[in-house]
């Protein structure tokens, strides 16, 4: 089991009346950046980088950054900048960029160049994730959501070819044209850094990730739904004649470890509710706009009949597996159950939950590293076929 520290870098200082849904329907896209205080933001960025560096110091295998735009939910429009900041301040952990939203990029060749540079700065400790970006992020970049998947596929193919084939060569595709593709530097890891792709149940994504032998990573969903995603990925791999290693399956999950069960729930509740009731308060029309999902993917989403995140109580979030909270023994047992049921070999533990203060994040990270990681690493991950 590989255990990684995943950070969203939220902006937690929302208005006092933010629970007025009519006034503030979402913390993203239309939520004015007048609410962002640069004097607070500068301290937050340095605090969050400190938390990632501390995770390496206490034994996490990887530290994870990601990309979001025009949102208080996550303030990393350029995860590559954060990865560069971490590269010289860390020495052992894999730096996981999960990931670059390549359909949003007008120049995906720049992504190929930046990731190649990061691969050298990290001395080969880099994982490169690719994501499509959330629906609202396409609106924020004036990109038709219906073009998201074809832009993603073409940008990926261009980046991968730029990494692996000697240049110069030309590229004339549906969305991108380059007379010369000849990136300097080439990646340090050969043929390229390992690649991971988050998925939310789209059959097309499962098949595509399996066909490329990449790592498939879940996003927020009930355990029973995540199981269908992982089983779908394994089935797609089986159709191609192979069984993916457990390390090719990643589970992203908010986790809080307290001194005991009672104090853990008492402390974590407000921050779990901040994440799901405020940070993830997004209307379906901006998360899944028309054309963003295929008919098959939309059918699967509707069939799952999931509640919107803000409609879930704290107790329901726990019961259905959106989050794990408890004392060390409870968290160890619950994560072990999830590992055995779902068969994932990488955990992306989100230990900075919502508006959680720095001292609590530090304590959560330290207890998790001391009391939970050794047990997770001790037991083998079941290989499912």
pLDDT tens, 36-70? Answer: 999 999 999 999 999 999 999 999 999 999 999 99
Q: For 127-166, write each residue's pLDDT tens digit.
A: 999 999 999 999 999 999 999 999 999 999 999 999 999 9
What confidence score (pLDDT) does residue 380 get? 81
Q: Please choose, from the candidates 232, 212, 209, the residue with its C-alpha nearest in 3D space to the C-alpha of residue 342.
A: 232
Domain positions in the chain: 2-378
What's the predicted TM-score (pTM) here?
0.96
CA distance 196 to 343: 17
Q: pLDDT band at residue 298, thresholds of 50, 70 and 90? A: confident
Q: pLDDT band at residue 385, thresholds of 50, 70 and 90? A: low
Query: How far does Cα 113 stand from its chain's mean position?
Result: 22
Cis peptide bond upstream of 376, omega within 30:
no
Cα→Cα distances 169→10, 177, 181, Å? 41, 11, 5
216-228 CB burial, b ≥16 within 10 A, e <16: bbbebbbbebbbb
- pLDDT of 300 strictly over 90: no
CA distance 348 to 8: 11
Cα→Cα distances 373→148, 238, 306, Å? 37, 31, 31
Q: For 264-291, write each residue's pLDDT tens digit.
A: 999 999 999 999 999 999 877 788 888 8
What confidence score (pLDDT) does residue 384 get? 67
What confidence score (pLDDT) does residue 302 get? 78
- pLDDT of 240 strictly over 80: yes
Q: pLDDT band at residue 379, thresholds of 50, 70 and 90? A: confident
Torsional sign, CA 201, 202, 203, 206: negative
Rounded average pLDDT over 254-263: 98
Q: pLDDT band at residue 200, thresholds of 50, 70 and 90? A: confident
Query: How far does Cα 79 stand from its chain's mean position?
Result: 11
Q: What is the DSSP letter of 311?
A: G
Averaged pLDDT of the chain: 95
What confidence score (pLDDT) does residue 284 get? 76
pLDDT above 70: percentage of residues in the chain:
99
CA distance 236 to 234: 5
What confidence score (pLDDT) does residue 282 get? 87
CATH fold for the domain made of 2-378? TIM Barrel (3.20.20)
CA distance 331 to 92: 26
């Amino acid at each position: 089991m590989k255990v990684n520290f995943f950070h969203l870098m939220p902006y937690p200082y929302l208005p006092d009346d933010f629970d007025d849904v009519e006034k503030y329907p979402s913390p993203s896209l239309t939520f004015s950046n007048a609410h962002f205080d640069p004097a607070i933001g500068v301290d937050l960025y340095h605090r969050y980088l400190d938390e990632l560096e501390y995770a390496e110091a206490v034994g996490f295998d990887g530290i994870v950054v990601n990309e979001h735009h025009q949102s208080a939910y996550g303030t990393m429009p350029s995860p590559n900048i954060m990865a560069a900041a971490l590269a010289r301040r860390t020495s052992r952990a894999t730096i996981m960029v999960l990931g670059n939203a390549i359909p949003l990029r007008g120049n995906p060749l720049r992504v190929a160049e930046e990731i190649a540079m990061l691969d050298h700065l990290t001395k080969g400790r880099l994982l490169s994730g690719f994501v499509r970006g959330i629906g609202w992020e396409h609106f924020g970049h004036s990109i038709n959501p219906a073009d998201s998947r074809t832009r993603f596929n073409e940008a990926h193919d261009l980046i991968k070819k730029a990494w692996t084939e000697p240049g110069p060569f030309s590229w004339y595709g549906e969305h991108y044209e380059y007379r010369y593709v000849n990136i300097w530097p080439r990646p340090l890891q050969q043929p390229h850094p390992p690649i991971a792709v988050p998925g939310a149940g789209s059959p097309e994504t499962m098949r595509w990730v399996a066909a490329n032998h990449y790592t498939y990573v879940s996003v927020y969903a009930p355990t029973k739904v995540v199981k269908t995603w992982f089983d779908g990925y394994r089935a797609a791999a089986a159709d191609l004649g192979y069984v993916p290693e457990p390390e090719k399956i990643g589970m992203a999950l908010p986790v809080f470890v307290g001194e005991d069960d009672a104090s853990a729930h008492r402390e974590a509740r407000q921050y779990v509710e901040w994440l799901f009731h405020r940070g993830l308060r997004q209307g379906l029309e901006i998360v899944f706009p028309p054309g963003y999902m295929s008919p098959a993917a939309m059918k699967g989403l509707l069939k799952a009949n999931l509640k919107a995140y803000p409609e879930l109580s704290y107790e329901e979030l726990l019961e259905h597996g959106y989050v794990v909270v408890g004392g060390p023994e409870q968290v160890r047992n619950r994560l072990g159950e999830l590992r055995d049921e779902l068969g994932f070999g990488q955990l992306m533990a989100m230990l900075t939950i919502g508006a959680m203060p720095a001292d609590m994040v530090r304590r959560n990270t330290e207890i998790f590293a001391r009391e939970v990681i050794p047990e997770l690493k001790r037991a083998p991950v079941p290989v499912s076929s």
